Amino acid sequence: MKRVIVFLMLALGLIVSVAPVAADDAITVTTSQFTCNFNKNMLFQVETQSRAEISKVELVMQFDGLPSPFRADAKFDVGNKIQATYDWNLQQKYLPTGVAGQFWWEIEDRAGNKKTSDKKTFRVEDSRFKWQTLAEPRFALYWYGGGADFGKAIFARAIQAMDALQKDTGVVVERQLQIFLYDKRADFLGAMEPNVNDWVGGRAYSDYGITLIHVGATDLAYGLVATPHELTHLIIHRKLGDIGTVGFPRWVDEGLAMYYEFVPPALEPEYETLLKRAIQNDTLLPLRTLSGNFATDARQASLSYAQSFSVVDFIYRRYGKEKIAQLLAEFRQSGASDDIFRKVLGVDTEGLEAAWRQDIGAKPRVIPTRSGAPTPFPTFGLSTDATSTPAPRVASAATPVPAPTTAPRASSNPISQLCGGAFSLIAVGIFAPILYRRARRI
C-alpha cells in the first residue's frame, strides 16, 4: 500500500511537472516604448517573450482625467519571442498636444500565462517648436512666439483670473489645465485635426483641460484677454461636467469668462459703448435668447457678449458671490435653468432680466407671449482671421473630430461646442468677443 501511495505521488508529481504551469513570471517584457510623431502617429512598441507562444498583446492607455481606459490589440507575428506594435494614427484619431497619461501592456500566452507590464507615461507633443513653459499645479502655459516676458505677463494674468474665480465661487482646479499659444496662424492650423476651417481662432478640448489659441507674439494685449477668458471656460466646464455643461446658459458661460478677463472685472470700452447704445435705443436682446447660440450677426454677437458680462456682473453685485457658486453647483446636477434660477435667485430668466434692466437703467421690456421654447439665434461662429471680414461666418462646416474607439469620444456636434459651449470630450472653441476686438483693432 505504501508503495502504491508513493507511486501515485510520483506519478502526480510527474504530471504536474509536465503540464504547462501558469506562472506570473512566465512572460517577461524586455522593452516597452512610446514614440510620438506629432500629428502623424503615436507608436507603442513592446518586446516580450514566454516559454509558450504569445497569443495576445493588448495595449491599455489611461488618459489623464478620463474615467475609462482605452484598449486595443497590438499587432505581432505569433511566436515565443515577439515584438508587438500599436500604431495610433493621429490623422484619423486626432489628439491635441498636451494630452497625456499612462500606458501598459496585458500579455497572454497559449499556456494561459498572463502578464501586465509596468506602467509608463505617454504625452502628445507638438515637437515642431521650442516651447517655453510656466506652470503651477493648476495651470501650465506654453508658448514659443514671444520672449520670456510675453509668457510671464499672460501667465500672471491667467493665474490672477483663476485665483479670483476660485475665491469668488469656491471652484477648485484639481487637475492641471494647459493652454498652448501658437504664434503663427499656419502653426496653429497645423496643430489641429486635418481639414479644420481656417477661420478658427482657438480650440478648447475641455475634457482634457487643454486649449490651443492663436496669439501672435506681437499681440500681447490679445493674449492677456484671450488666455484668462479661455481658462475660465475650462475651469467652469470641468466644474460642471458633461451633464452640467449641456444645460448651462450660454450667457452665464460667456459672462463669467468675460467677467474674469480683467481683475477687477471690467467691460472693454467698445462693449461698454455697444451696451449703452442698446440701453438708450431700447434694443437690448432678450436674455432668454442668449441661453443658446449667439447671433451670427457681428453686432448682435458683440452685444450678446456685452449683455452676458453685464448680467453676470449684476448677479454678483445684487445677489452675491455665493449665489454664483450655488448656481454652478445646481447646474452641475443638471435641471431646467428657470428652475435653478428660481431656486437660487428667486426669479426665473424673465424675472432676472427685469431686475437687471432696471439696474442698468433700461426700460422694462415688453415681454411677448412665451411660446414655450426659447427662440435661439442662428448658430454662431466667427471668422478668426483678422484679414477676413469681421462679419461672422456660420460654423456649421467645423470638422468633427474622428473618434478613437473608446476613451476620447468625438464631438458629436461641433456647432454646440463653440467657445463657451464645450459639451463633450473633444470640444471646439471659437473665441468670439476677442476676435471682434481683434478685427477692429487691426
Binding site for Zn ion (CB under 5 A): 254, 257, 419-420
Min dist CB 420 to Zn ion, Å, is 4
In the bound state with Zn ion, the residue whose beta carbon lies nearer, of 204 and 426, is 204
230 φ/ψ sector (left φ>0, alpha ψ -120 to 50, else beta): alpha
- Shortest Å, Cβ 233 to Zn ion: 6
Q: How far is the CB of 434 from Zn ion (least distance, A)?
A: 8
Q: Which residue matches cell numbers 426669479?
A: 347
Backbone angles phi, psi at 377, to 5 degrees: -75, 165
Supply the minimum distance, in Å, between the C-beta of residue 367 and Zn ion. 28
Q: How far is the CB of 433 from Zn ion (least distance, A)?
A: 7
Closest approach, Cβ 368 to Zn ion, in A, equals 28
Between 292 and 404, CB nearer to Zn ion: 292
Buried b (16+ CB within 10 A) or exposed e, 282-297: eebbbbbbbbbbbbbe
Provide the minimum distance between the beta carbon of 211 and Zn ion in the complex, in angstroms, as a whole number. 10
d(CA 95, CA 25): 35
Q: Which residues lie closer than 8 Å to 211 by C-beta, 6 or more apart? A: 177, 178, 179, 180, 202, 203, 204, 205, 230, 231, 233, 234, 429
Nearer to Zn ion, 61 or 164 (CB): 164
Cβ pair 128, 190 in contact under 8 A: yes
Choice between 109 and 168, CB closer to Zn ion = 168
Which of residues 111 and 213 has its CB atom nearest to Zn ion in the complex? 213
Smaller CB separation from Zn ion, 36 or 257: 257
> 61 or 301, CB closer to Zn ion?
301
CA gap 57, 68 in Å, rounded: 19
How many CB atoms neighbour CB 375 within 10 A? 11
C-alpha cell at 303: 452685444
User: Cα–Cα distance between 442 and 439 in angstroms, integer?
Assistant: 6
Residue 360 half-sphere exposure toward CB, CA atoms < 13 A:
26
Short-list 416, 412, 414, CA closest to 294:
416
- Kindly state the smallest distance separating residue 427's Cβ from Zn ion, in Å: 12
Reported as type and span, the H/E element at residue 332 is helix 321-332
Beta strands in 274-328 (DSSP E): none
Q: Which is nearer to Zn ion, 168 or 254 (CB)?
A: 254
The residue among 258 and 287 lying less far from Zn ion, judged by its C-beta, is: 258
Q: How many CA atoms lie within 13 A of 442 on its CB side?
A: 17
Q: Is the peptide bond before 264 cis (omega within 30 degrees of 0)?
A: yes
User: Least Å distance between CB 419 and Zn ion?
Assistant: 4
